[in-house]
Amino acid sequence: RTLSDLGDLRGKRVVIRCDFNVPLKGEEITDDGRIRAALPTLEALLGQGARVTAMAHLGRPKGKRDPKLSLAPVAKRLADLLGQHVEFATDTVGLSALKASANLNDGEIALVENVRFEPAETSKDDAERMELAKKYAELGNYFVSDGFGVVHRKQASVYDIAKLLPSAAGELVGKEVSVLSKITHDPERPYVVVLGGAKVADKLAVIDNLLKVADTLIIVGGMAYTFLRAQGKQVGGSILDASKVDACRGYLADAKAAGKSILLPVDVRVAKGMDLDARTVDGPVSVVSVDDIPADQEGLDIGPATEKLFAEQIAGARTVFWNGPAGVSEIDELANGTRAIARALATGDAFSVIGGGDSAAAVRKFGYTDDQFSWISTGGGASLEYLEGKELPGLAVLDKEN
């Protein structure tokens, strides 16, 4: 169900779940992409004269109040972007939230404090979550689900509340689903997927499904080393998940049998190590072939020959989906591979979709604007689970009549 299914919302009290899980440095928001992505729905609701109470999470405070994870900076940025006051409630379902929500006039908005300060928000116990959802439901008479990045979570503000109020997907959720559905069911070919990130274990399920739909799978980032090991290469001190080497060998064989390609780096940038917090590299960075990774060095980015090879693949594609950095994009010396992939996507004419907070933050850091890509998904885990073909609880609940 979409917003129009809720009818005329003038003067109606609407609770909306957004994904405002933005990266912060102290109180400074370093990438406000997720807040901007919520604007079309919020502006549509406010423009209709709805009285909007927004809910969101920030980080994983595990049911405890953590001032470092307050949504107060988000309320400020949201007010700047909307060009109107955002009343910030200092609690989530207490007096401050009830008051902020009840005092709204037509076309006004409040944001309540981090839903994950409430222990029941993420509880595995259905009854406990439902008790909390009933309190959320006191903040309005309608529910709009627009936090795409969190629809894969069965949590009180995403799932249970939708069972209590007339509910619909917001514009962002609608757009995300239409883009991801298109590349899952009807991609223009050749369809190239670039998968990166540190942990191969997180991506195995999606590889399974992607091998059914994509023509070429390019593997970068930390996960590439487990694949290289599966090809019999020595990976030195690079990230390696020994328990997944057999699975990777299986995928390489399956891809070959199905006439598809899994492409791995041919050269990599190596160093003794790095410190992500300090943004420093341990020792000089050098380029080596994947056949010659020294035992005391760690692969930390793809090399220039690989960049060229993968850029050519992307240039020849009609559809590209990219999730996960190729190196350590936060450290300049190890950001070249990620930069090369971003450049190839931005300059090519394929339908290009970027998923995952790290890749999205990286392309913005490199100076690209969102309109240079066909779509930047606000969901990391959510977009991958969608591509895996899993049922996402926060979407499924909107399809059911309550």
Per the annotation, where are the binding residues? 19-21, 34, 57-60, 116, 153, 203, 299, 330, 356-359
Buried-state track 169-178, b at ≥16 Cβ within 10 A, e below 16: bbbbbbbbbe
Pick between residue 318 and residue 390 the one whose CB is nearest to ligand 3PG. Answer: 390
Annotated binding-site residues for (2R)-3-phosphoglycerate read: 34, 116, 153
Q: Helices (H), strands (E): how many in the chain?
A: 13, 19
Q: Which residues contact 336 (CB under 8 A, 6 or more apart)?
A: 269, 301, 302, 304, 307, 327
Residue tagged active-site, from 12, 17, 34, 229: 34
Q: Interface with ligand 3PG by CB under 6 A: which residues? A: 19, 21, 60, 149-150, 153, 357, 380-381
* Residue 339 contacts residue 326 (beta carbons within 8 Å): no
Residue tagged active-site, from 221, 236, 337, 381: 381
Residue tagged active-site, from 77, 134, 199, 272: 199
Pick between residue 241 and residue 358 the one whose CB is nearest to ligand 3PG. Answer: 358
- Distance (Å, whole) CA 47 – CA 50: 7
Q: Min. distance of Cβ 341 from ligand 3PG in angstroms?
A: 20
Annotated binding-site residues for ATP read: 203, 299, 330, 356-359
- Distance (Å, whole) CA 170 – CA 115: 19
Pick between residue 21 and residue 323 the one whose CB is nearest to ligand 3PG. Answer: 21
* Residue 377 contacts residue 176 (beta carbons within 8 Å): yes
Q: Min. distance of Cβ 147 from ligand 3PG in angstroms?
A: 7
Longest dimension (CA), the chain: 67
Catalytic status, residue 381: yes
Residue with the shortest CB distance to ligand 3PG: 21
Catalytic status, residue 34: yes
Catalytic status, residue 348: no
Using alpha carbons only, give the angle 103, 104, 106 rounded to the nearest 5 degrees. Answer: 140
Pick between residue 303 and residue 357 the one whose CB is nearest to ligand 3PG. Answer: 357
Q: Min. distance of Cβ 231 from ligand 3PG in angstroms?
A: 31
Q: Min. distance of Cβ 243 from ligand 3PG in angstroms?
A: 23
Cis peptide before 190 (omega within 30 of 0): yes
Q: The tokens of 298 are what?
A: 């760690």
Q: How far is CA 327 from CA 203, 303, 339, in A?
A: 16, 10, 9
Pick between residue 115 and residue 290 the one whose CB is nearest to ligand 3PG. Answer: 115
Q: Min. distance of Cβ 164 from ligand 3PG in angstroms?
A: 21
State CA 229 to chain mean position distance: 28
Active site residues: 34, 199, 357, 381
